[in-house]
Amino acid sequence: MRKILSSVVAVAAVATMGISLASGAVCAAAQDNELSDGCKSAYLCDFASGECVYKRNENARMPIASVCKVMTLTLCFEAIERGEISADEYVRVSAQASGMGGSQVFLGEGLEYSVNELMKSIAVCSANDSCVAMAERISGSEDVFVAEMNERAKELGCKDTLFANCTGLPKETQYSCAHDVAVMFSNLIKHKGYFDYSRIWLEDFKHPDERVTTMTNTNKLIKKYSLCDGGKTGYTGEAGFCLASTAVKDNMRLISVVLGGESSDIRFADTVNLFDYGFANYENKLILDANTNIQQRAQVKGGKRDCVSVCPLRSSYVFSAKNAQPEVSQNLVMETLRAPVHKGDKVGYAEIYKNGIITDTVELVAAEDIEKSCVWDDIRKVAGEWAL
């Protein structure tokens, strides 16, 4: 049986916490500052909630060059998670893959490389040859892989995206937009293994035939902006200079996308402007602390005690303009448990609302053990009730 235990937090109480503002007005205000006037389009949002902070021509369809590798890497990580491939297995490189132009690590035809090293080279130095090698391993051919890229984009709700290859090299009928790239990049960085690659600045790529190719991260913000820990660049003459990136400060992670930059320096400068604006004007307010028990307890039947302390499985925050005062509420739903109960057992969930819209759902777990009662426990309980 489930029991709803609590709901609304008063607006006055939230006002003292300084929690967030609706995103639309904020985007309009930020746009007046021309934070990204060196690029054709841009988008800045909170990673956890997806709430927009700044937008400029965010739905304009345009080529994104190697930024399309955000989706290439996504399909690689998802194939690993499904058990279809292993990060430790080796991939034999085809003539097609080894013959790719543009950014590459110069894979040798017929040689075998680990999935881990191929994915690393895609993330760090945008290796086109590694993209095709992985596409062929996962889907059998690049064409089939690209069809899967487009299907995945649709599943993520990207309505202004169409891929024609897995590398971003110039080809007719391929495009995306700043908003869609932000969605796809946010999905990619949910894979924790991505950051094992994205933070690398300089590393040697060792070939089976003893050649060495030095990889340098194409995302210069890894070196120049201390808050940035991931990103994907792109450039062609048609696309201009593009960058999808992420930065984190305290407990808040932001996603930035700039497309069609006039130069490499401008795309990085505009991205820093966006991040600096976001961190200066927004914050994440702690609503549930994973290290603190909530006030309500869950009922326990047949235990040495009739209730158990409860805590959230993880912390929960509300994304917030620093000068905003929205209404925040919590809806706690508890299970009626039967002993024994072990610390960490799921006991229910908490729904977090901001301005009437759900922003997070957090699992609630038992914070302690409750042993099953024995006959003598029941006798003592009855005796205690008689004494009253």
Q: Which residues are catalytic?
A: 66, 69, 126
Which strand ranges, in their side-by-side order, compose the sheet holding 357-366? 2-8, 328-335, 346-354, 357-366, 310-312
Within 13 Å, how many C-alpha atoms sit on residue 49's CB side?
28
Dist CA 309 CA 124 (whole Å): 46
- 3-state SS, one letter per residue, for the chain: CEEEEEEECCHHHHHCCCCCCCHHHHHHHHHCCCCCCCCCEEEEEECCCCCEEEEECCCCCECCHHHHHHHHHHHHHHHHHCCCCCCCCEEECCHHHHCCCCCCCCCCCCCEEEHHHHHHHHHHHCCHHHHHHHHHHHHCCHHHHHHHHHHHHHHCCCCCCECCCCCCCCCCCCEECHHHHHHHHHHHCCCCCHHHHHCCCEEEEECCCCCEEEEECCCCHHHHCCCEEEEEEEEECCCEEEEEEEEEECCEEEEEEEEEECCHHHHHHHHHHHHHHHHHHEEEEEEECCCCCCCCCEEEECECCCEECEEECCCEEEEEECCCCCCEEEEEEEECEECCECCCCEEEEEEEEECCEEEEEEEEEECCCECECCHHHHHHHHHHHHHC
Helices 128-139 and 142-155 pack at an angle, to 10 degrees, of 90
